[in-house]
Chain A
Amino acid sequence: MSTSEIDRQWTTRLRRRVEGKLPPEKLLPDTQPTYVSSWIYVFGIATLSSLGVVIGTGCILALRGPQWWHGSAYGHFINSMHLWSVEIFFFAMVVHLWGKFAMAAWRGGRALTWMTGVVTFLVSIGAGFTGYVSQSNFDSQWISTQAKDGINATGAGAYFNVLNLGQMLMWHIVLLPLGAIVLTGMHVLMVRIKGVVPPFEEGAEVAE
């Protein structure tokens, strides 16, 4: 195979592009700018950490099933951990959002970082909602019957029927977590590529 043929391969082009945009020292940096030493920058990683606990406890719940999480003390404990890690996830994500909004974090070519964060937030709301209607208890019945008319009025009912427990559970444990994880991965990679947005007083140093 000639050199020009190798150069044209999509694997070669993709590798060179990734190497150029995301060298190892950018992907896993050992230092951060001075302005990152503020509590407001902590909430991004707090959101990411709580997402890890959400996924971990969700996997345990998926392995053991509803009878276990409703009927055993250990199941209640893991079920509660799943709920409270979601609470911390949204709490930290909202504070992260406020902080990034206040510092206009889309500056310096970071629009895609901002938008992946926005869409992750929306997907997470969907994941939270489908979690509430997948509990398989009276609470989930109440929430789904309260929500059905609103959802059906949007025309989404054919693919998103809140009274269909099986469909809601699949949305909750497959489609929406997949979306949230992929988008979160993209978001973190975009932060690594573009760097953490500096505060306004250091605006002159905003880098592409």
Chain B
Amino acid sequence: MAFLLSFAALIPLDNLGHYIQWHIIEISVANLIVMILMVVTFIVALVAPFPGRSRRKENR
């Protein structure tokens, strides 16, 4: 169980959240990071080569 707890200690969750404010927009840093990660994942999914794609094209 100590092994699992060591994972929990990687990110301290007991502190107050951090927020970014810009005019009427207020967003937590955690949510902003998730949104940026989604955009990055989307772009990478479009451009990253898929394993075996060239082999499948040859067999077509």
Q: A residues bordering B, Cβ < 8 Å?
A: 34, 37-40, 42-43, 73-74, 77, 80, 87, 91, 94-95, 98-99
Tell me how far the C-beta of B43 lies from the nearest C-beta in chain A, rounded to whole angstroms: 10
Q: Are A37 and B45 in touch, CB under 8 angstroms?
A: no
* Inter-chain contact total with CB atoms closer than 8 Å: 43
Q: Are A42 and B45 in touch, CB under 8 angstroms?
A: yes
Q: A80 to B10: give the CA distance in the assembly, Å.
A: 14
> Would you call the interface of chain B mostly helix, strand, loop, or mixed?
helix
Choice from A37, A42, A91 contacting B37 with Cβ under 8 Å: A91
Tell me if B52 is interfacial: C-beta within 8 Å of chain A. yes
* Residues of chain A lying within 8 A (CB to CB) of residue B48: 39
* Residues of chain B lying within 8 A (CB to CB) of residue A94: 38
Residue among A42, A87, A98 having the largest count of chain B Cβ atoms under 10 Å: A98
- Given known pairs A91-B38, A95-B38, the reply for A73 and B4 (CB within 8 Å) is yes
Q: Which 4 A-B pairs have the closest CB atoms?
A: A39-B45, A37-B53, A40-B45, A37-B50
Q: A34 to B55: give the CA distance in the assembly, Å.
A: 10
- Given known pairs A34-B56, A73-B5, A77-B4, the reply for A43 and B34 (CB within 8 Å) is no
29 A-B contact pairs sorted by A residue (CB < 8 Å)? A34-B53, A34-B56, A34-B57, A34-B60, A37-B53, A37-B56, A38-B46, A38-B53, A39-B44, A39-B45, A39-B46, A39-B48, A39-B50, A40-B42, A42-B45, A73-B1, A73-B4, A74-B1, A77-B4, A87-B34, A91-B37, A91-B38, A91-B41, A94-B38, A95-B38, A95-B41, A95-B42, A98-B42, A99-B42
